[in-house]
Amino acid sequence: MSEQVNRPAAPYIGSEATIGPYLGHTRVAYFSMEIALRAEIHTYSGGLGVLAGDTARAAADLSLPMVFVTLVSRQGYLQQAIDEDGRQVDRADPWKPADYATPLRAKVAVIIGGREVWIRPWLYPLGSAIGRTVPVLLLDTALPENHADDQTITDTLYGGDMTYRFKQEVVLGIGGLRLLQALGFHIDRYHMNEGHAALLALDLLRRYPRPLDQVAPGELKLDVAEVRQACVFTTHTPIEAGHDTFSYELVGHLLQGYIELDQVRQLAGSDQLNMTRLALNLSGYINGVAVRHAEVTTRMFPGYDIRAITNGVHAPQWAHPAFAEVFNRHSLKWGYSPEVMQRFDQLPDDLVWQAHQQAKGHLLELVQRVSRQKLALDVPILGFARRFTAYKRPELIFSDLARLQAIHARYPFQLVLAGKAHPNDQPAKELIHSIHSMIRALAPEIRMAFLPNYDLSIARTVIAGADVWVNTPEPPMEASGTSGMKAGLNGVLNLSVLDGWWIEAHIEGVTGWSIGNHAGASADALYDKLERAVLPMYYQDRPRWIWMMKQAISKIGSTFNAHRMMRRYAAEAYIARRPSWEVSTHAPPPF
Ligand SMILES: *Cc1c(COP(=O)(O)O)cnc(C)c1O
């Protein structure tokens, strides 16, 4: 294997880009509202999309027989600017599909609100240096034959109102399913990454009527078992608002005559069409994205057998090039077989520290370039970058400015933040504004920078370049979290509330540190840990710090890895398809 193996693969765009080469062997279709393919392709908003992108990269490395389906999102999600006053300014974030993808000739129609809406896919072949290219289909309704209103359905990720969202989900689920068939795919498993694509299961269901003489009044007229055999569902959030619900009035209006609504009510909830419930009822394999999250989801939706496949990140995508080089000296196989990273606790201290300082240097350059701030290489950087939303509590570290100043006086530190607030999330926008005020209040003593427009590219630099990766969600809201995994494999130490994936990875003083306990964490708990454990070790016990970096690289890098995750999906969800309820001690799904 060449050194290239462990670098992010260059996207392969062949001039002969057609779907033909993939048809014969593809068996699994993965549907996601967002997929982060590369920074220039604005088809993602945050963790869900980045996970889907790492899923596709790992699938390509492992040559899994998969096709990926998402929306083209021509106007992107959100380009974030920050104004003079420290407020988020929302801008469209357009990209040109023709610059990166190839339009296919196939076209299918769905009927939405009584009108035909035509859908054409773009093909983005996602290459791997060590495996097989997997096709990604980006669904597009911007076609001249469509009504002007319908041409914009695939424009803005998570934009518009509930009507717009439902139209997008019809295009993704029903349109995507029909397109795969029109293209000639023979799919055995449909993997719904979050509930947005659950209408695909409904469209499958319409094809399996039960013999009417076997249907008692009030029973389902369709054969759910057939559909469950084919469907896999991964749920991603315990947040109520994260589960799309639509009024049956809206559904009836947009899908008139498509399916009897009393049948849908039995599967998706009697008052509202709940996409999560629909997916739960129509899937034979259901999982959460961390052990804790599966438990929490089981309590939210009793009666379903919800397994856990803990998320992972694509190591070659997230390892800083300086670390990739150090890793390569030890083993060239880490990009393909993350197990070899277990032994990376044996890496030489000086090489690990040098690689880290190099990654940190890149972050200093980025901060200097975008926020004209000069950070210091020998002062620890606390990093906090994530989607801005109330439950992630980005303001927690600013709870007591006097305490923060006192800690800084004893043990200087720097802080780098980044993250977008959804355009409609007013409280999160307020957080961005108030955090900017506090950054100003603490300057110039405490050096802090907020980097606008958090995306794949900024994430790579910020996460690998920090010394400590801070995470302060309100448990149990963080289903998994993945940025801490990216940090760990770069020897960046996690300081995190015990929630999501961190419950599985945390060993106190070894892989990182906890804040508070399983029930929750206060600002005081964060300050105490910073002042008594984290910062003193950075300044007074560098050998122990580097030892911890190596523990994090080996334990987190080898396990919280997208290859491990995809091997589990392949073995447990795609191949071993004994329906969950047959092997479960739980009651069968409740209908
Ligand atoms: C990894 C990543 C996320 C998800 O991070 P969390 O820890 O789950 O909050 C979001 N956005 C970008 C750009 C990322 O790279």
Q: How confident is the model at residue 181 (pLDDT cuts 50, 70, 90)?
A: very high
Q: Range with the lowest mean pLDDT among 477-486, 494-503, 513-522, 549-558? A: 513-522
- Beta strand pairing call for 448-451 and 414-418: parallel
Check pocket membership of 500 for ligand 1, CB cut-off 6 A. Answer: no
pLDDT value, residue 10: 43
pLDDT above 90 covers a percentage of the chain that reads: 88
Q: How confident is the model at residue 3 (pLDDT cuts 50, 70, 90)?
A: very low
* Residue 6 neighbours by CB under 8 Å, 6+ apart: 315, 316, 319, 324, 327, 328, 332, 334, 335
**Could you tell me the distance, in angstroms and rounded to a whole number, from the CA of residue 97 to the centre of ligand 1?**
23
Q: Per-residue pLDDT averaged across 354-380, rounded? A: 97
pLDDT value, residue 577: 64
* Residue 15 neighbours by CB under 8 Å, 6+ apart: none
Please say if the pLDDT value at position 586 is more than 70: no
Number of the ligand 1 atom closest to the C-alpha atom of 484: 7
pLDDT tens digits, one per residue of 497-540: 999 999 999 999 999 999 998 888 999 999 999 999 999 999 99
Q: Which residue has 């409280």 as its token pair? A: 427
Whether 439 and 82 have beta carbons less than 8 Å apart is answered as no
Please say if the pLDDT value at position 16 is more than 60: no
The token pair at 424 is 């409609």
How big is the CA angle at 115 (ends 113 and 119), to the nearest 5 degrees?
105
Q: How confident is the model at residue 219 (pLDDT cuts 50, 70, 90)?
A: confident
Number of the ligand 1 atom closest to the C-alpha atom of 455: 13
Please say if the pLDDT value at position 318 is more than 90: yes
Number of the ligand 1 atom closest to the C-alpha atom of 456: 13
Q: Per-residue pLDDT averaged across 284-304, rounded? A: 95
Q: Which residue has 């890496």 as its token pair? A: 347
Q: What is the set of domains in the chain, with CATH numbers? A: 4-312+567-585 (3.40.50.2000), 320-560 (3.40.50.2000)
The token pair at 228 is 């469950």
pLDDT value, residue 4: 38
Please say if the pLDDT value at position 25 is more than 70: yes
Q: Per-residue pLDDT averaged across 80-107, rounded? A: 96
More confident residue, 14 or 114: 114
Q: How confident is the model at residue 8 (pLDDT cuts 50, 70, 90)?
A: very low
Q: Which of 38, 44, 50, 314 to mutate to test the pocket of ligand 1 (most atoms within 8 A of CB)?
A: 50
Whether 486 and 463 have beta carbons less than 8 Å apart is answered as yes
pLDDT value, residue 216: 86
Check pocket membership of 461 for ligand 1, CB cut-off 6 A. Answer: no
- DSSP letter string over 49-107? HHHHHHHHHHHHHTT--EEEEEE--TTBS-EEEE-TTS-EEEE-----HHHH-EE-S--
pLDDT value, residue 41: 98
Q: Range with the lowest mean pLDDT among 94-98, 235-239, 282-286, 292-296? A: 235-239
Tell me the pTM: 0.94
164: number of Cβ within 10 Å: 16
Residue nearest to atom 9 of ligand 1 (CA): 386
pLDDT tens digits, one per residue of 433-459: 999 999 999 999 999 999 999 999 999
Three-state secondary structure call for residue 240: helix
Check pocket membership of 455 for ligand 1, CB cut-off 6 A. Answer: yes
Q: Per-residue pLDDT averaged across 64-77, rounded? A: 98
Per DSSP, 423 falls in state T
pLDDT value, residue 13: 43
Check pocket membership of 477 for ligand 1, CB cut-off 6 A. Answer: no
Q: Per-residue pLDDT averaged across 130-151, rounded? A: 97
Q: Per-residue pLDDT averaged across 129-143, rounded? A: 96
**Could you tell me the distance, in angstroms and rounded to a whole number, from the CA of residue 270 to the centre of ligand 1?**
35
Cα 208 vs. chain centroid, distance in angstroms?
Answer: 33
Q: How confident is the model at residue 159 (pLDDT cuts 50, 70, 90)?
A: very high
Q: Per-residue pLDDT averaged across 146-156, rounded? A: 98
CA distance 293 to 299: 10
Check pocket membership of 481 for ligand 1, CB cut-off 6 A. Answer: yes
pLDDT tens digits, one per residue of 560-580: 999 999 999 999 999 976 555
pLDDT tens digits, one per residue of 39-70: 999 999 999 999 999 999 999 999 999 999 99
**What's the start-to-end Cα distance of the chain, in Å?**
53
pLDDT above 70 covers a percentage of the chain that reads: 95
